[in-house]
Amino acid sequence: MSPWTGPLEKVDDYRWRIPKSYKSGMRVDGLIFSSKELLDEVKEEQALEQVANVAFLPGIVSYSLAMPDIHWGYGFPIGGVAAMRLSDGVVSPGGVGFDINCGVRLLRTNLTEAEVRPKIRELMEALYRNVPSGLGSEGKIRLRHGEIDEVLAKGARWAVEHGYGRRNDLETTEEHGEMRGADPSLVSGKAKERGTPQLGTLGSGNHFLEVAVIDQIHDEAVAKEMGIEQLGQVMLLIHCGSRGLGHQAADDYISVMVNAMKKYNIEMPDRQLACAPINSEEGQNYLAAMRCAANYAWANRQCIAHWVREAFCKVLGKCEEDAGLEMIYDVAHNIAKIEEHELDGKKVKLCVHRKGATRAFPAGHPDIPPKYARIGQPVLIPGDMGRFSYVLVGTEQAMKESFGSTCHGAGRVKSRAAAKRMLRGEEVLRRLDSRGITVRTGSMKGLAEEASEAYKDVTAVVNVAHNAGISKIIARSRPIGVIKG
Amino acid sequence: MCYDNKKMRRFQLIEHTADTGLIAYGHNLAEAFANAAYGLFSIITELDKVKEIESQEVTVNAEDTESLLFKWLNDLIYTFEVKHYLFKRFDIVEFAKTSLKATCWGEKYDPSRHHIKIGVKSATYHLLEVDEGKNRVQVIFDV
């Protein structure tokens, strides 16, 4: 693939614009939050062309946005954010992605690295055994016939009602882990067939479980409100999504949208941007099905968090209270939501697509938990398995500029095949081990694909988000144990 | 690059930063569709370990040939995930621009013998091409 050579205007050190004059059909400019260094990599591929293509979508307002971790996706770039007017705008399943509500959940503990490290191998083994992972993994949960519909309607609440975790976990989950307006009758039988045996599984690819240690605190007061109290404190991070259920629901509705485009006379430069008016039957049905898949993902992370707590307590010989296993937050980074934003001085409802982007609402926003009303919504940014992860908070600037959105991770720079050619899984394992990171995996090849070298430096990514003001860095952690599916 | 018995090129992989894709070839479009399916399963597993002992019928209908390719490959991903079949031979018995019927040969996934290399979430429409003149198809998978 050849480098991108379109026009890119520097707005300031962290903002770059693709003028809508670049391609006839662009309704708004593209705006990329990035640094010169990160952009040099981005320009090697066609992600910026995808930013321009997203600007074609009917009803898009302000900008076709890209977060600092932007990389080449399919249709939308990964790291893409687009907001549409409800009156004449569209919703696009490609703007959410196949892994609907792929997201991140972070739990704190009262324990320190000194207490956990001597038992880290035992802990990773227990976590690996207690949380089903890997390709085609099937879970420990046996749903009754038709019970999947309850999971799709209730999300994380279904899990809590069935003994997986606690009620107050829901308070610190985006949407309380239960998106309203989910209609299970609009999710296909095929999607339910794929999702039923996979509930409570991590999956494979870039999904993981991580035992991490806080190694930098940038804002002590804010960190403390979240329960991040000291350097060396152990954290537990879960990254996964809606499994086959979400993939199938996305497939089903992309096909619906491809037909709807003809019906509504919409033309797009890439079929993967297939869409339908938000107010059409197709648009509404997709949103209702997408919310089901989002709820499934929240139920999934809720069950996994329960088993993580179980394994942790067993190995460390502590009860849950003594171990202080409280949730910090759970965020979605592949989702479309109807939200209120200010546009030209007026409050309007918009359909915000976040494809590899995290919501970053500021202090005082009504949609964030009361617990965080004073500090802003926690934003969880996992890095690659050899480097750091970050906790940030949302800001007013994000509300003004990025529809309350920021980055979601490191962002790939090398293809999976290129990563495998460069390194063998065994070598990755050995190197991580020599740096004190214990890895448990079912696939050595999968491990090579996810090596640090395949990713952008997450620190460079979050620094752009911080310096541009669309979120604020609070703390950093480094991994001491990783489970890769 | 992968060749069939007659040294005809079956498919080649395309590298895409986040994902993976392929270009498949054939003497006719039906064969290119079959080779795309073969390519898909060779991304998922090592096909030399898969025996042709069981078959499943797959029927796909779509609005146009591009959608037919998208649905064909996604139907196979679904069959693998739900029924655990790994396929390596695809006898396309009926093929028209908007419909396809195939008998897919392979066996059920057996963890003691089969190694799953990578999970494929879905075929995508991004850069999807069906070249009827050259009997060549291109697809990017979300993995």
pLDDT band at A126 (very low <50, low <70, confident <90, very high): very high
Q: What is the pLDDT at residue A473? A: 98
The pLDDT score that the predictor gives to residue A410 is 83
Closest Cβ–Cβ partner in B62, B78, B121 for A99: B121
CB within 8 Å: A258 and B125: yes
Cα A398 to Cα A144: distance, rounded to the nearest angstrom: 43
Q: Apex CA B36: angle with CA B31 and CA B40, to 5°?
A: 145
CB contact under 8 A, A74 and B126: yes
Which residues on chain A are in Cβ contact (under 8 Å) with B130?
A: none
Residues of A in contact with B20 (CB under 8 A): 415-417
What is the interface pTM, i.e. ipTM, of the complex? 0.90
Percent of chain A beyond pLDDT 90? Answer: 85
Residue B16 pLDDT exceeds 80? no
> Min CA distance, A215 vs chain B (Å)?
29
Q: Is the CB of A416 less than 8 angstroms away from the CB of B20?
A: yes
Residue B21: CATH number of its domain? 3.55.10.10
User: Each residue of A17-33: pLDDT tens digit?
Assistant: 999 999 999 999 999 99
Residues of A with catalytic function: 408
Instruction: Tell if the CB–CB gap between A98 and B122 is shorter than 8 Å.
Output: yes
Q: Per-residue pLDDT for A136 more than 70?
A: no
Tell me which range, A162-176, A425-439, B18-32, is most confidently predicted by mean pLDDT: A162-176
Model confidence band, residue A2 (pLDDT cutoffs 50, 70, 90): confident
Dump pLDDT digits (tens) for A353-378.
999 999 999 999 999 999 999 999 99
**pLDDT of B1 above 70:** no
Q: A443 — contact with chain B (CB < 8 Å)?
A: yes
Buried b (16+ CB within 10 A) or exposed e, B121-132: bbbbbbbbebee
Weakest-pLDDT range from A7-11, A206-210, B21-25: A206-210
Chain CA centroid to CA A203, Å: 15
Lowest mean pLDDT, pick from A50-59, A382-391, A473-482, B64-73? A382-391
Homologous superfamily (CATH) for A9-413+455-484:
tRNA-splicing ligase RtcB (3.90.1860.10)
CB contact under 8 A, B18 and A136: no
The answer to whether the beta carbons of residues A363 and A377 sit under 8 Å apart is no
B5 touches chain A (CB under 8 A): no
Are A248 and B78 an interchain contact pair (Cβ–Cβ within 8 Å)? yes
Grouping H, G, I as helix, E, B as strand and the rest as coil, residue A35 is coil
Distance from CA of A410 to the nearest CA of B (A): 12
Query: How far does A305 lie from chain B, in Å, by closest CA?
Result: 23
Cα separation, A454 vs A450, whole angstroms: 6
* Under 8 Å between Cβ of A260 and A271: no
Beta-carbon pairs below 8 A across chains A and B: 108
Helix (H) or strand (E) holding B82: helix B65-83
pLDDT of residue B37: 98
How many domains is chain B partitioned into structurally? Answer: 1
Model confidence pLDDT, tens digit, residues A64-94: 999 999 998 889 999 999 999 999 999 999 9
pTM, whole model, 2 decimals?
Answer: 0.95
Q: Do the beta carbons of residue A56 and residue A396 sit within 8 Å? A: no
pLDDT greater than 80 at residue A59: yes
Alpha carbon of B92: minimum distance to chain A alpha carbons (Å): 22
Q: Does the CB of B12 have a partner CB in chain A at under 8 Å?
A: no
CB contact under 8 A, B78 and A97: no
For chain B positions 71-90, those within 8 Å of chain A (CB to CB) are 71, 74, 77-78, 80-82, 84
For residues A7-23, give the mean pLDDT.
98
Q: What is the mean pLDDT of residues B4-21?
A: 80
pLDDT at B5: 65
Q: A164-179 pLDDT, tens per residue?
A: 999 999 999 999 999 9
Whether B142 contacts chain A with CB within 8 A: yes
Cβ of residue B2 closer than 8 Å to a chain A Cβ: no
Three-class DSSP category at A27? coil
Least confident of A6-15, A338-347, B16-25, B76-85: B16-25
Instruction: Pick B115 or A360 by higher pLDDT.
Output: A360
pLDDT in tens, A404-433: 999 999 877 777 777 878 888 888 889 899
- Determine, for residues B84 and A136 on separate chains, whether the beta-carbon distance falls below 8 Å: yes
Q: Assess A259–B contact: CB distance below 8 Å, yes or no.
A: yes
A39: left (phi over 0), alpha (psi -120 to 50) or beta: alpha
Q: Touching check for B63 and chain A: CB below 8 Å? A: yes
Domain hosting B135: range is 2-142
CA distance A454 to chain B (A): 9
Q: What is the pLDDT of residue A139?
A: 81
What single DSSP character describes residue A425?
A: H
Q: How far apart are CA A436 and CA A319, in angstroms?
A: 26
Residue of chain B whose alpha carbon sits nearest to that of A274: B125
**Residue-level pLDDT at A158:** 98
Contact assignment for A194 to B20 by CB distance below 8 Å? no
Q: Cα distance from A252 to chain B (closest Cα, Å)?
A: 9
- pLDDT value at B6 more than 80: no
pLDDT digits (tens, 9 = 90+) for A274-326: 999 999 999 999 999 999 999 999 999 999 999 999 999 999 999 888 999 99
The amino acid at residue A120 is I
**pLDDT at res. A414:** 78
Buried b (16+ CB within 10 A) or exposed e, B65-97: bbbbbbbbbbbbbbbbbbeebbbbbbebeebee
Q: Which residues contact A213 (CB under 8 A, 6 or more apart)?
A: A112, A113, A232, A233, A234, A235, A477, A478, A479, A480
Chain A interface includes B1 (CB < 8 A):
no
Instruction: Flag whether residue B143 sits within 8 Å of chain A, measured between CB atoms.
Output: yes
Give which of B15, B81, B143 to mutate to test A binding, by max A Cβ within 10 Å. B81
Q: What pLDDT is recorded for position A461?
A: 96
The pLDDT score that the predictor gives to residue A18 is 98
